[in-house]
Amino acid sequence: MELLKRNPAALFLKILILAGIFSAIQYMISFKILSTYYQMTLTTLCLNIILAVSLNLINGFTGQLSLGHAGFMSIGAYVSVVFTQNLDAPFLLALFMACLGAALAGLVIGIPTLRLRGDYLAIATLGFGEIIRIILYNIEAVGGAAGITGIPKLTTWPWLFGSVVLTILVINNLTNSSYGRAIVSIREDEVASELMGINIVNYKILAFIVGAMFAGLAGGLYAHFFYIIKPNTFGFMKSFDVLVMVVLGGLGSTSGAVIAAIFVTILSTVLQSFPELRMVLYAMVLIIVMIFRPQGLMGNKELSFKILRRKRGEAKK
């Protein structure tokens, strides 16, 4: 309501843009203008946005180096599938339980590890991701190394679009609240934050739980679109890919995380035509971007209508 009172025109324009994007893509899917290949690319893009924005809360805003995001995604994927396949639960309930399972895992890993800093925290979260993967390898009830196949395709464009909007909305509201200011202060200076009475461990755990929760949501959506999940799908390289998006977009910028996720997804799709050179070209593009824009595409800035108005005013001068 406060946002509506402050700038109702900007809010209405944002809703109009979102409605336009949703309607246009839904139209193309309904009339089969978008092929299956492009629908898969669109799904991957939406999942990458959710993963990048949620990891940015941990790595960008809180300043903690987490390398286990794929582990939370795998928990969400497996929990949601167990609920839809084994318990015949509605998809909404399955996604809710996926978020809850990943959030609980974030709490369990967060309490002992978030007292660590820097490289030590990175190693601890990397170890957590690998532990989850090895555990899934050895649980025959969820398929072991072969994974789970024949998962019903319940993830549709409305689910993807709604999940992306929900993720961005929740994390934006969190980072712009008093909790968000406390989280950012921890990133800037932990000692000063603690001296000001901020319980840094509690705020770190809060960020970790919220980030893990949305990674679990991405896992549930992934499982119910691609029919099959395996432990190998959620290895270290998946966590690394998401980390690349966060750094490329700019640490502490939600807009940057979204732009970088779109950029990396499109780049990976285009380079699939060159399998021999794909990883070389991919790495070269990332190196060039980081050389000329080391703070990331957006730095710690956010896209807004204010920026557009400022640019227009500068152009007139």
Task: Name the residue with higher pLDDT: 195 or 242.
Answer: 242
- How many separate domains does the chain show? 1
Q: Which one-letter DSSP state was computed for residue 84?
A: I
Q: Where residue 317 falls among pLDDT bands split at 50, 70, 90?
A: low
**Is residue 201 pLDDT above 60, yes or no?**
yes
Residue 297 lies in a domain: no
Residue 248 lies in a domain: no
**Is residue 237 pLDDT above 90, yes or no?**
no
Residue 118: what pLDDT?
73
**Is residue 314 pLDDT above 60, yes or no?**
no
Of 218, 238, 16, the C-alpha closest to 129 is: 238
Residue 114: what pLDDT?
73
203-222, pLDDT tens digit by residue? 989 999 999 999 999 999 99
Residue 316: what pLDDT?
53
For the chain, the average pLDDT equals: 87
User: Range of 175's domain?
Assistant: 43-234
Read off the CATH number of the domain in which 89 is found: 1.10.3470.10
Residue 48 lies in a domain: yes
Residue 78 lies in a domain: yes
105-153, pLDDT tens digit by residue? 999 888 888 777 777 888 888 888 889 999 999 988 888 888 999 899 9
**Is residue 270 pLDDT above 90, yes or no?**
no
CA distance 202 to 251: 21
**Is residue 3 pLDDT above 50, yes or no?**
no
Q: Which residue has the tokens 């909007």?
A: 165
Residue 313: what pLDDT?
55
Residue 187: what pLDDT?
87
**Is residue 165 pLDDT above 90, yes or no?**
yes
Encode 152-162: b = buried (16+ Cβ within 10 Å), e = exposed: eebbbbebbbe
Residue 66 lies in a domain: yes
**Is residue 83 pLDDT above 90, yes or no?**
yes
Residue 300 lies in a domain: no
**Is residue 11 pLDDT above 50, yes or no?**
yes
Task: Name the residue with higher pLDDT: 141 or 279.
Answer: 141
Residue 61 lies in a domain: yes
Q: What percent of the chain has pLDDT over 70?
A: 93
Verdict on whether the full-model pTM lies above 0.75: yes
100 neighbors 86 (Cβ within 8 angstroms)? no
Residue 307 lies in a domain: no
CA distance 252 to 305: 19
| Residues 6 or more apart whose Cβ sits within 8 Å of residue 285 | 267
Once rounded to an integer, what is the mean pLDDT over residues 259-281? 84
